[in-house]
Structure 1
Amino acid sequence: MEKGMITNELIHQPISDTLEKNYLPYVMSVILSRALPEIDGFKPSHRKILYTMYKMGLLKGLRTKSANVVGQTMKLNPHGDEAIYGTLVRLSKDNESLLYPYVDSKGNFGKVYSRDMSYAASRYTEVKLMPIAEEIFTDVDKDTVDFVPNYDGTMYEPSLLPVKFPTILTNPTKGIAVGMASNICSFNLGEIIDATIALTKHPRTNLLRYITGPDFPTGGLILRDEAVFRQMMEEGTGTFRIRGKSSYSKKDNIIEITEIPYTTTNEAIIDKTIQLIKDGLIKEISDIRDETGLAGPKIAIDLKRGADPDKVLHRLYRDTTLEDTFSCNFNIVLNGYPAQLGVRGILQNWLDFRIGCFRRKVRYDLRKYEDKLHLIQGLKKVLLDIDRVIKLIRETKRERDVIPRLMEAFSLDEIQAEFVANIRLRNINREYIQNRVDEEQELIELVDYWRSVYNSDQLILDLIVKELREIKKKYDKGRRSELIEPSHVEIVEEIKVEVIEELIAFRTWENYLKLITPASLERHPEQRLKAEDEIVQELAIDSSFDLLFFSDQGNVYKSKANAIEQSRANELGQYLPTILELEPKEEIVHMVATKDYSGYMLFLYENGKLAKIPLESYITKTNRRQLINAYYTDEALVQMAYIPEDQDILIYRYAQQKEMLLLLDTAIIKEKVTRHSQGVQVVRMNRHASVTAMDVVDADMADKLKAHRVRTIPSSGTVRKPFDR
């Protein structure tokens, strides 16, 4: 059978072998060579375009047609002209995708904030490199980075660019690979440079002192969330909110939106608003139109007479992408492997990369200086006897003997002799040679200086910091996006009549929840439960209550009662892991209902400590559904309970085969404002003692058990009598 001939033979092999041989190379190619950026801030497609433009001389001079750049780039990128041109468009100044664009453009390049404003064909548009692009190519020809063959081996291209500032964090980057994705928000160049300089002095410095938050080319308002920003700094993940910027003209009764979130488009906002109007959910708008022009994006919204603009904006923020979220996922390719890093990790790795590039540049220059010094030192040897040099060359019979005779006569090495022999006749004079020899001292000083720099990380860092400061001074243009505190965002509550229903909340052992009206319970009193399931909590509430669900993982999940679908007794109810989006194997262990967040949560631990936490500690200013570190989890929890106010509780202690009781008023327990507190020692413990349970008791029961009352803590309690119930 001829090699490569197709047959109908069926090959049987394990699917793992097939995946490893056929699918894995594709996966790795997409991850490493297409979708994710590297430490220089570029995906391969970006790097190939920019390097091509650099080699075309487009840092200086006039623009060239985009089609020319696309054609030249195909020598490095075989993915087709449309793909290359689309990438070039996103790198351009006029498209406004980048906070610090690299391509100076002329013509119609579309807009990142418009879905319908398509860019013109490459034969009509023109491009060159922006001045800031000079900072990514400086010394690229001085062996600062490795060069690799292109796809057909006919030329070489840089594997990375020797960028002089952390470009990876100054422009937004999004990429979808196989099994992973990257979504890096952009930051202000000045803030990133300040943070980088601070890291060179203190590696564990608080980056939020320098980086106030993300910054986007489309501007907008970013709602500050310090916890999320800190997570971005350390882990490279986190989700924050960004909303458009608007103004209201009372004279014209018009809302004008002039900045929108980076994640959306004018058309998406307008289409959703029109749908809300058609559905009758917004009745105050008479017209909405896109007035985007040369001045930038603009959406004009005409209001009906008497309409409340704050109320309309509130609805638009809530129900359209005029307010949106940005989910960060800082996945990059680092040293040939995918890695997820926070801003700190990226900056530290960028500094290592930049030090390596700078050292290679110094080595390149040092060799040049050393070679030149070596030649001049040879020239110095013949300075005083030029006539002898001329005579020696003239009297040499064979050309091949010139170099050996010069080496012997003046104690030169072969390189020095070649240099002397190749001096042009017009330069064989004392003035020329003296001028060259005068460079010797300057070269000696240069060699000594750069040799000391080459051998010192600190000197290299100092020079890198100097470069960074110069770049900040040259290109920092202030923030585009404004940071605002969530508490400063005015929330206009709509006036609506809400029917408040009485409900009974049932929680079962198997994590089911039923909210049942009393009337429904009368009609269907028989409770339906799964086999071996049972009701563990029953609370009388109404539909305006907040429900707090405490999990065994130390989390609290919050929900409005009216946001949970009601059930009937003959139904299983709502499955809590689903409606609360619990983590795998996470279970709800307690439920609390409240209107005003008064009262306390009590947490009793096996070590005899009890934490008394005000329920108001679980209030959040935003609509967060999950609170982590809701209570202390480093010690085994015996029981938790909610009390509306200070009252008596009964704690059971078992020691030396005797059950002890402690009756105490919770008023003697100091409350802790920190949710994660482990509380105070209430029960005196030893190696034979254990805490087994806790009950909240009423006044009658407390009176019957008054013999067990303790006035001070910690206490061992008193032995339980047979008649104690």
Structure 2
Amino acid sequence: MILQNITDSLKENYMPYTAHVIMHRALPEIDGLKPSQRRILYTMYQMGLLKGTRKKSQGVVGQTMFLHPHGDMAIYETLVRLTRDNESLLIPYVDSKGNFGKQYSRDMKYASARYTEVKLASIANELFQDIDKETVDLIENYDGTLLEPRLLPVSFPSILVNTSSGTAVGMASSIAPFNLNEIIDYTIAKIKKSDAEVHAYIQAPDLPTGGAIIYQKREMNQIFQTGKGSFKIRSTYHIEGNSIVFKDIPYTTTFEAIIERISQLVKDGKLRDIVDINDIYGINSKGIEITVKNSTNKELLIEKLFKMTPLQDTFACNFNLIVNGKPQTLGIPQIIEEWIDFRSNAIRRGAQFEKRKKEQKKHLLLALKQVLLDIDKAVAIIRETNKNSEVIQNLMQAFQIDEQQAEYVAEIKLRHLNKEYILSRLEKIQTLELEIAELSEILTNKKKCDLKIIAQLKQVKRIHGQERRSSIISSDDLPTVPTEQMKIDNYNVRLFLTNQGYVKKIPLTSLRGGNPVKVKEGDKIIREVNTTNNSDILIFTDQFNCYKYKTYELDDHKLSGLGEYLPSLLNLQDEQILFVTGTHDYSGHLLIGFEDGKVAKIELAAYRTKQNRSMLKNAYANKKALFWDHNDQDKEILAVSSIKKALVFHTSMINPKTSKTTIGVQVMKSKKESVVVGYYDLTDQEFEEKEYYQNKGAGIGKYLRKNDFDSILGQTKLF
């Protein structure tokens, strides 16, 4: 047993492990690949699988293990996702034959590696563009016996063309795929003009499984500019008699999950119009077929299915990748800038390599030119030299050339000492000089380098470009179905909200037994909201946003369950939830107490929207909020400042406003640059001395007396 301080153990063991997982396993790099993917593709390249016939997958897996020291199944699973047949990638890198499963199926398993065959797809030529010209660094493999590329010199921004996701220690990555044509068009525009607008060239992500993306400009702009956010995608469908056929399902789900969810809703009596449901995936068919009753309003049922099942799902974006050895979350413009720098460096390195080779060749031909001026002299020197080892030295002295040039001259065959050969060699010198000059310009002239990148991008688009698979629907064009037509079962529920961000929806009938509501260990319930199943949940965050969620979209929870984790449910990235409430009629007021001593009283009706919007920006004034309450009745509130002053005020003195961003009424004035550190609802608290602290209009308050501080504030640890 080795005894070690826990902090030392973390530094020496866990931190290196964390760094390795982040840098060398889970996150993609600027070439769009993770190490496992890069090693598989490079192994296939070394095996000559860019040309010729396919090889057994088992052979590829075995060869890859010389670069990637992991189990064969882990390597094969990665290989499967790279194949055309699996349909995981928008532009698959591996041409495959055999059963590789399907990305959209949970139960359709891929066959063993000994039964399937693979080779590199034609697009893979662009991954290894000029790799033999020192365009990228080569590093040693894990045991130092082989060399592998640090990155691949991809000739197009593959990082944004194929989806990539991974979970490291303390961070994750989820990069949405975009159409190759659109990405190339934007990249070319970005090279020509650094402030090119993304939206002018890229419409929205383009997913391998197709589907229809619900376009909201604000959300899409956030994804484009910051690399964070989410968008909704729904299945495409058509109606055939009494059948609804959903064809392209969302990339984020599987048809088994959809069928199970619909079956459960039918069993629970929440979908009464469905007669039968089947998957119709086969050689010439694809999708989920739902048979309904003759009298069914099919369009209404379709909207209910989108709201209640994964037929409409959310793709969360987190464009986190390794750039120059550091994990960074970047928007599309920043990623393209980094890729342009990466590709420019690769082209310059390739140009430097070619220039060096051509200069060496020119150097040899210049010696030949010099010798050919007096070829008889050269022949005589070689003929009259007694020892073979002295030939090179004699040529060097006679013609003032170096050893390398002399070796080249000495190796010329007698048959080449003719006029045609001599003239062709001399002309080659002129050609080399022009080529060297052109390569020098690429090295020194940024515009020349940019033109070469653009030419390569245009070629990739011409050969490999394809039409969009995912259609785009504006959120404004979605059918709006009144809630009453949705026939949502309406019953009384209670929402339980916990300190760690979980929400439970429990029908009141389930609470009659008096059994306790359980929560996660270390968590606690901080708010209970009585509402109905047919209501809206309003979630306010520290980024001044209000997220809206339908109560019926939450499953009924058991007393013993954890509930739903709100940050995941809403795809929150860097936002903290401050307050949650529920309403079915938007009655009452929202009370917000701010750090500056002002309190806003906002009519909850201000948050009602005609369209079914999922988020409201500028949901309250842009300043720090400390206190929240939603109530129909006015009440007494205690405010405490950072200089231990307190006052009690009644909310009836604050006039309600219809503007969400109202700055509020000054309840407690600042003194000595003080701020309010807490507001406390006195409704259910006994505070005998509250009359002493009641606001008489000045709004300055009185210093807390010690006994009062201990009685009501002693547990808050404010000071």
Query: TM-score higher than 0.5 here?
Result: yes
Q: Is the 8 A contact 2:541 2:578 kept in 1?
A: yes
User: How far has the Cα of 1:458 moved from its partner?
Assistant: 2.2
Identity %: 45
Instruction: State the TM-score, normalized to the length of structure 2.
Output: 0.75
Does residue 480 (structure 1) correspond to residue 465 (structure 2)? The answer is: no
Does residue 259 (structure 1) correspond to residue 248 (structure 2)? The answer is: yes
User: How far has the Cα of 1:562 moved from its partner?
Assistant: 10
Does residue 619 (structure 1) correspond to residue 609 (structure 2)? The answer is: yes
Does residue 172 (structure 1) correspond to residue 170 (structure 2)? The answer is: no
Q: Secondary structure at the match of 2:132?
A: coil
5+ long unaligned stretches in structure 2? 494-530, 555-565, 632-654, 665-719
String of CA shifts for 1:125-159, please: whole Å, max 9, x gaps. 11111111001111001000000111221111101
Q: Is the 8 A contact 1:544 1:595 kept in 2?
A: no
Q: Secondary structure at the match of 1:179?
A: coil
Report what 1:148 is aligned to: 139
User: How far has the Cα of 1:366 moved from its partner?
Assistant: 0.5
* Structure 1 residues 544 and 50: alpha-carbon distance in aligned structure 2, compared to 1, 3 A threshold: closer
Given candidates 15, 36, 48, the residue that maps to 2:27 is: 36
Report what 2:175 is aligned to: 184
Query: Which shows bigger deviation, 79-88 or 552-561?
Result: 552-561
Report what 2:644 is aligned to: none
Report what 1:524 is aligned to: none
Does residue 328 (structure 1) correspond to residue 328 (structure 2)? The answer is: no
Larger Rg: 1
Q: Is the 8 A contact 1:316 1:322 kept in 2?
A: yes
Q: Secondary structure at the match of 1:141?
A: helix
Query: Structure 2 CA distance, aligned partners of 1:12 and 1:282?
Result: 61
Q: Secondary structure at the match of 2:247?
A: strand
* Structure 1 residues 549 and 207: alpha-carbon distance in aligned structure 2, compared to 1, 3 A threshold: closer
Given candidates 339, 342, 349, the residue that maps to 2:331 is: 342
User: How far has the Cα of 1:259 moved from its partner?
Assistant: 0.6
Given candidates 457, 461, 465, the residue that maps to 2:446 is: 457
* Structure 1 residues 344 and 677: alpha-carbon distance in aligned structure 2, compared to 1, 3 A threshold: farther
Query: Structure 2 CA distance, aligned partners of 1:230 and 1:139?
Result: 36
User: How far has the Cα of 1:408 moved from its partner?
Assistant: 2.1
Which amino acid letter does the alignment assign opposite residue 226 of structure 1? K
Within 5 Å, give how 1:90-169 maps onto structure 2.
Answer: 90-169=81-160
5+ long unaligned stretches in structure 1? 1-9, 504-540, 565-576, 643-665, 680-725
User: How far has the Cα of 1:587 moved from its partner?
Assistant: 5.7
Query: Structure 2 CA distance, aligned partners of 1:563 and 1:127?
Result: 44
Q: Is the 8 A contact 1:380 1:437 kept in 2?
A: yes
Query: Structure 1 CA distance, aligned partners of 2:584 and 2:80?
Result: 55
Q: Secondary structure at the match of 1:145?
A: coil
Report what 2:717 is aligned to: none
Query: Structure 2 CA distance, aligned partners of 1:43 and 1:475?
Result: 22
Query: Which shows bigger deviation, 484-493 or 208-217?
Result: 484-493
Q: Is the 8 A contact 2:490 2:532 kept in 1?
A: no
Within 5 Å, give how 1:601-640 maps onto structure 2.
Answer: 619=609, 621-624=611-614, 626-633=615-622
Within 5 Å, give how 1:693-712 maps onto structure 2.
Answer: none
User: How far has the Cα of 1:552 moved from its partner?
Assistant: 8.2
String of CA shifts for 1:80-139, please: whole Å, max 9, x gaps. 221211111111111111000011111111111112221122222111111110011110
Q: Secondary structure at the match of 2:152?
A: coil
Report what 1:212 is aligned to: 203
Given candidates 29, 48, 51, the residue that maps to 1:57 is: 48
Report what 2:307 is aligned to: 318
Q: Secondary structure at the match of 2:49?
A: coil
Within 5 Å, give how 1:605-684 maps onto structure 2.
Answer: 619=609, 621-624=611-614, 626-633=615-622
Which amino acid letter does the alignment assign opposite residue 412 of structure 1? I
User: How far has the Cα of 1:239 moved from its partner?
Assistant: 1.3
Q: Secondary structure at the match of 1:292?
A: coil
User: How far has the Cα of 1:485 moved from its partner?
Assistant: 1.0
Give the number of equivalent residue pairs. Answer: 619
* Structure 1 residues 53 and 554: alpha-carbon distance in aligned structure 2, compared to 1, 3 A threshold: closer
Query: Structure 1 CA distance, aligned partners of 2:198 and 2:269?
Result: 47
Query: Structure 2 CA distance, aligned partners of 1:592 and 1:312?
Result: 26
Q: Is the 8 A contact 1:187 1:215 kept in 2?
A: yes
Report what 2:397 is aligned to: 408
Report what 2:710 is aligned to: none
Given candidates 404, 411, 417, the residue that maps to 1:428 is: 417
Q: Is the 8 A contact 1:383 1:434 kept in 2?
A: no
Query: Structure 2 CA distance, aligned partners of 1:296 and 1:324?
Result: 23
Report what 2:234 is aligned to: 243
Please list every run of at least 4 consecutive aligned residues from structure 1 whose deviation after the TM superposition is greater than 3 angstroms.
491-501, 541-564, 580-588, 590-608, 610-618, 634-642, 675-679
Which amino acid letter does the alignment assign opposite residue 263 of structure 1? T
Q: Is the 8 A contact 1:284 1:307 kept in 2?
A: yes
* Structure 1 residues 542 and 260: alpha-carbon distance in aligned structure 2, compared to 1, 3 A threshold: closer
* Structure 1 residues 427 and 630: alpha-carbon distance in aligned structure 2, compared to 1, 3 A threshold: same
* Structure 1 residues 154 and 601: alpha-carbon distance in aligned structure 2, compared to 1, 3 A threshold: closer
* Structure 1 residues 499 and 147: alpha-carbon distance in aligned structure 2, compared to 1, 3 A threshold: closer
Query: Structure 2 CA distance, aligned partners of 1:336 and 1:413?
Result: 43
Report what 1:273 is aligned to: 262
Query: Structure 1 CA distance, aligned partners of 2:460 and 2:125?
Result: 11
Report what 1:23 is aligned to: 14
Instruction: State the TM-score, normalized to the length of structure 1.
Output: 0.74
Which amino acid letter does the alignment assign opposite residue 627 of structure 1? L
Within 5 Å, give how 1:226-241 maps onto structure 2.
Answer: 226-241=217-232
Given candidates 55, 66, 76, the residue that maps to 1:85 is: 76
